[in-house]
Amino acid sequence: MPQLNRQVLLKARPADIPGPEHFDIVETAVPELRDGEILVRNQFLSVEPAMRGWVSAVANYSVPVGIGEVMRAFAAGEVVASRHQGFAEGDKVTGLFGWQDLAVVGAAAVTRKVTETDLPLSLALGVLGLNGVTAYFGLIEVGQPKPGDTVVVSTAAGSVGSAVGQIARLSGCRTVGIAGGGAKTAQCRDDFGFDAAIDYKATNDLDAAIAAACPDGVDVYFDNTAGRISDAVMKHLAVRARVVICGTASVSSWETWPSGPRVERHLLVKRARVQGFLVFDYQARYAEAIARLAGWVRDGRLAYAEDILDGIDQAPGAIKGLYQGDNRGKRLIRLHP
C-alpha cells in the first residue's frame, strides 16, 4: 500500500499576495523511488515573503510555480528512504521539498545535510537557513559594515532583520531597528540587542524619528520593505552609505512600477550606493556563513524567534499573515506524522 501524502497545490495565480483561496490541499500516493532519489519526511515547512514572487506570473528571478503544482517551499526533515548513495535513512536534510508531508526528490533539491544536530532542526529554515545566510551575506558583503557605523534595518524583528541587527552589533556597529508595533520594537531592543528601535506604526513623523535615532546619519541601510519606510531612511544617508535591497515587502504590487521620490541627486551628493541582493548568488559559500552563525547561536550571541503554526492546513493562509505583520519570528509550519 503506498503511503498517502498531503500536498498543498497552487490553484490560482494571485494578483498580489497569495491567500487560502489560491491553494488546494490534496492527498496523493507517494510514487516509488527511482535510482538517485530520496524520500524525505518533512518536519517543518517554511513560509516566507518571497513566496509572493514565486507564484507571480511576472518575470522574476525564478520560474513561477505552475498551476496545479505543489507549492514551492523550503522544508527540513529526515530521509526515510534512499536510492542515492550520498544519503542514508535518518539523515537530516533541508532543501526545496515543497509544502507537503513527503517529498521524492533528487540530490539537486537538497540544500544541505543538517550537521549541527545539537541544535533544533527548525533552525535550518531560519537563523541557520536562508534567513540567516541572507542576513550574513547581505550585510557583510553588500552592506560592508565597519566598526562605529550606524546600521538601520527594516522589518527588524523579522527572521532576516533580527539576524542583520545582531551581526551588525557583532561587527561593532550601532544598530537601529524599524518595526511595526510596540511588541516588535520591544523584541528588537530586549531580545535582539538593537541600540534603538522605531515603531513606524506609532510615529507620525518617521523622518524625525530616524534623524533622532541616527544623529550621525545612516551608514548602512538593510532594506526589507521599500516604500515609505525606505523613503524616510534614504533622506538620512551618510556620505558613502550602502543600501542593501533585500526585500520589498511593503509594496504590494510591482507589475507596473509604482512612483516614489527620485533618489538620484541624493545618491550623487552622498556618493551612496544602492544594491540589490539575492542570497542564491552566494550558494557556494553557504557553509562558511552557517558555521559562523551556528557558533554564535551556541555562544548565546545570536538570538532568534520562531512563529510556529501547527499542521499543513495552516499553510495556505500563512503567507498573507507575513505581509500583515502577524508573525513574531520565522514563520514555520510544523508537521505531525
Interface contacts to a second copy, rule CB under 8 A: 59-61, 223, 226, 230, 245-248, 251, 254, 257-278, 281
Q: How many CA atoms lie within 13 A of 58 on its CB side?
A: 12
β pairing state of 74-82 and 92-96: antiparallel
Cβ–Cβ < 8 Å for 292, 163: no
Cβ–Cβ < 8 Å for 213, 185: no
- Beta carbon of residue 150, minimum distance to a second copy (angstroms, whole number): 19
Cβ–Cβ < 8 Å for 244, 221: yes
How far apart, in Å, are the Cα atoms of 138 and each of 236, 244, 245? 20, 7, 9
Residue 138 or residue 193: which is nearer to a second copy going by CB? 138
- Beta carbon of residue 206, minimum distance to a second copy (angstroms, whole number): 15
Residue 245 or residue 297: which is nearer to a second copy going by CB? 245
- Beta carbon of residue 89, minimum distance to a second copy (angstroms, whole number): 39
Closest CA to 103 of 8, 30, 3: 30
- Beta carbon of residue 145, minimum distance to a second copy (angstroms, whole number): 17
Residue 273 or residue 328: which is nearer to a second copy going by CB? 273
Residue 1 or residue 268: which is nearer to a second copy going by CB? 268
The amino acid at residue 224 is: N
3-state secondary structure of 272: coil
- Beta carbon of residue 54, minimum distance to a second copy (angstroms, whole number): 13
Closest CA to 25 of 100, 77, 104, 102: 100
Residue 151 or residue 279: which is nearer to a second copy going by CB? 279
3-state secondary structure of 163: helix
Measure the CA–CA gap between 145 and 141, rounded to whole angstroms: 9
- Beta carbon of residue 316, minimum distance to a second copy (angstroms, whole number): 25
Cell numbers of 222, please? 538593510
Measure the CA–CA gap between 161 and 167, rounded to whole angstroms: 10
The phi, psi pair for 76, rounded to 5°, reads -130, 140
- Beta carbon of residue 247, minimum distance to a second copy (angstroms, whole number): 7
207, exposed or middle or buried, with CB in 10 Å at 0-12, 13-18, 19+? Answer: middle
Residue 10 or residue 142: which is nearer to a second copy going by CB? 142
Residue 62 or residue 115: which is nearer to a second copy going by CB? 62
